[in-house]
Amino acid sequence: MASIDIAAVRKSYGATPVLRGIDLTIANGEFVVLVGPSGCGKSTLLRLIAGLELIDKGEIRIGGRRVNDLPPKDRDLAMVFQSYALYPHMSVRDNMSYALRLRKTPKEKIAAALKGASAKLGLDALIERKPRALSGGQRQRVAMGRAIVRDPQAFLFDEPLSNLDARLREQMRFEIKKLHRDLGATSVYVTHDQIEAMTMADRIVAMNEGVIQQVGSPSDLYDNPANLFVAGFIGSPAMNFLQARTVAGPGGMSVTVGQAEIAKVPPATPTGPVVLGLRPERITLTAPGQGAQAAVDLVEPTGLGMIVHLDLDGQQLKTFTTERLPLKAGERVGLMVPPGSFCLFAPGTGERLAG
């Protein structure tokens, strides 16, 4: 097990910069999830750590040792690929023991490691099979098994669950988390799925366009997004963004959408246009006449609750509630935002404003 230090790392393909200066420290035993939209450079960063691509500028250290110029085989990292990349001509046993055999590990040790890993992953009955005789979920397990027999410095995962169906994905999420709890291994997990990031991570690294946008615990990113990108990327249904203003009134500073006052803000907030971020489930619906006035546009039941689309002074917004309200399109409702459950962003830069 080891920590991973990434300092000022840059990478371009030809003239296109893909990573524009990445600084990140991953502590020993930590489960870090790199999340961001497709094409933002997550896999590239993972492959730089793995040694499958060379760094243009900057430095990567694993367990304190500079690895910039080390080939993958000397970095002692295990990687699980999105495509699983199982060796098709080898049985499950040989797939899983390949790394140990390359290291000339004694036979008894290999057998013991195989036994432990296949028991953990429920692969005992499949050990003699070839990959083509396995289902997608089983292949995924073998790919995991290939990584855990080795006891490497760290695990790297590149979207390991995205080829599975939703139910299996949920189950594997849980199993990977449990494996991490049992093994305590440093893990870097790449995904574009914010739910995977939220549910699995000790710390989330949100990336966009080759730049880290925010690093923090799942609740940090959810409650205190650093900018519009993170606010919009994390959470489902996504945060509402409304064109709003902060104004000084007789009762102090407040944020308004059109004529409607939504919430009070601290007196130090400068007046002017802002982007108001509202999480759908933190908006309370009330009877018309109370709070800001809006019209119901559409109601989407989800089983767990319902998503109510509202029109607030010409702007669209969604609210989520677990109550089953008898709402109809066109009906008027009031909405209230409890103090402290909204975010303000600067309209130009998208950065979070205090308050």
Partner 1 sequence: MRNPGYWIFHYGLLALFVVFALFPLFWLFKVSITPNDLLYSEGVRIWPSRMSFDHYGAVLRHSDFPLFFRNSVIVSTLTAFFSTIFAAAGGYAFSRFTFGGKLWIVGLLLVTQMFPLVMIVAPIFRLLAPLGLTNSLTGLVIVYTAFNVPFAVFLMQSFFDGIPKELEEAAMMDGASRFQALLQIIFPLTLPGIAATLGFVFTAAWSELLFALMLNSSTAASTFPVGLLAFVSKFSVDFGQMMAAGVLALIPVCVFFFFIQRYLVQGLTAGAVKG
131 near partner 1 (CB under 8 A): yes
Which residue number, 51 or 277, has a Cβ lying nearer to ligand ADP? 51
- Measured from the CB of residue 157, what is the shortest distance to partner 1 in angstroms? 12
Which residue number, 43 or 194, has a Cβ lying nearer to Mg ion? 43
Residues 13-52 vs Mg ion: string with x where CB under 5 A? ------------------------------x---------
How many other CB atoms are found less than 10 A from the CB of residue 166?
8
Q: Which of 284, 347, 312, 346 is nearest to 355 (CA)?
A: 346
Q: Taking a C-beta distance cutoff of 8 angstroms, is the pair 286, 323 a contact?
A: no
15 near ligand ADP (CB under 6 A): no
CA distance 41 to 45: 6
Q: Which residues of 200-232 are buried (b: 16+ CB within 10 A; e: fewer)?
A: bbebbbbbbebbbbbbbebebbbeebbbbbbbe
Which of 8, 23, 39, 329 is close enough to bind ligand ADP by CB under 6 A? 39
259 near ligand ADP (CB under 6 A): no
Which of 41, 145, 216, 235 is close enough to bind ligand ADP by CB under 6 A? 41
Which residue number, 35 or 278, has a Cβ lying nearer to ligand ADP? 35
Which of 22, 79, 126, 308 is close enough to bind partner 1 by CB under 8 A? 79
- Measured from the CB of residue 192, what is the shortest distance to Mg ion in angstroms? 7
- Measured from the CB of residue 51, what is the shortest distance to Mg ion in angstroms? 17
316 binds, among ligand ADP, Mg ion, partner 1, none (CB under 5 to 8 A by kind): none
92 binds, among ligand ADP, partner 1, Mg ion, none (CB under 5 to 8 A by kind): none
Q: Considering only 33-41, 163-171, 282-290, 294-302, which stretch makes contact with ligand ADP by CB under 6 A?
A: 33-41
158, two tokens: 């590149």
73 binds, among Mg ion, ligand ADP, partner 1, none (CB under 5 to 8 A by kind): partner 1
Rg (CA), the chain: 25
9 near ligand ADP (CB under 6 A): no
First to last CA, the chain: 41
SS3 25: strand
Q: Taking a C-beta distance cutoff of 8 angstroms, is the pair 311, 294 a contact?
A: yes
Q: Tell me the residue number closest to ligand ADP, measured at CB.
A: 43
CA distance 313 to 259: 8
Residues that bind partner 1 (rule: CB under 8 A) add up to a total of 33
Task: Dump the DSSP string for 162-226.
Answer: TTS-HHHHHHHHHHHHHHHHHH---EEEEES-HHHHHHH-SEEEEEETTEEEEEE-HHHHHHS-S
98 near partner 1 (CB under 8 A): yes
- Measured from the CB of residue 129, what is the shortest distance to partner 1 in angstroms? 10
SS3 313: coil
Q: Which of 315, 312, 249 is nearest to 285 (CA)?
A: 312
Scanning the chain, the segments in alpha helix (DSSP H) are 42-50, 92-102, 107-121, 136-148, 166-183, 194-200, 218-223, 228-233
85, two tokens: 């990349």
Which residues, numbered 330-349, are part of the site for ligand ADP (CB under 6 A)? none
106 near partner 1 (CB under 8 A): no
65 near partner 1 (CB under 8 A): no
Q: Taking a C-beta distance cutoff of 8 angstroms, is the pair 332, 291 a contact?
A: no
CA distance 149 to 99: 9
Which of 9, 26, 34, 78 is close enough to bind partner 1 by CB under 8 A? 78
Residues that bind partner 1 (CB under 8 A): 50-52, 71-73, 76-79, 81, 83-89, 98-99, 102-103, 130-134, 136, 139, 146, 150, 156, 163
Residues that bind ligand ADP (CB under 6 A): 13, 18, 36, 38-44
Residues that bind Mg ion (CB under 5 A): 43
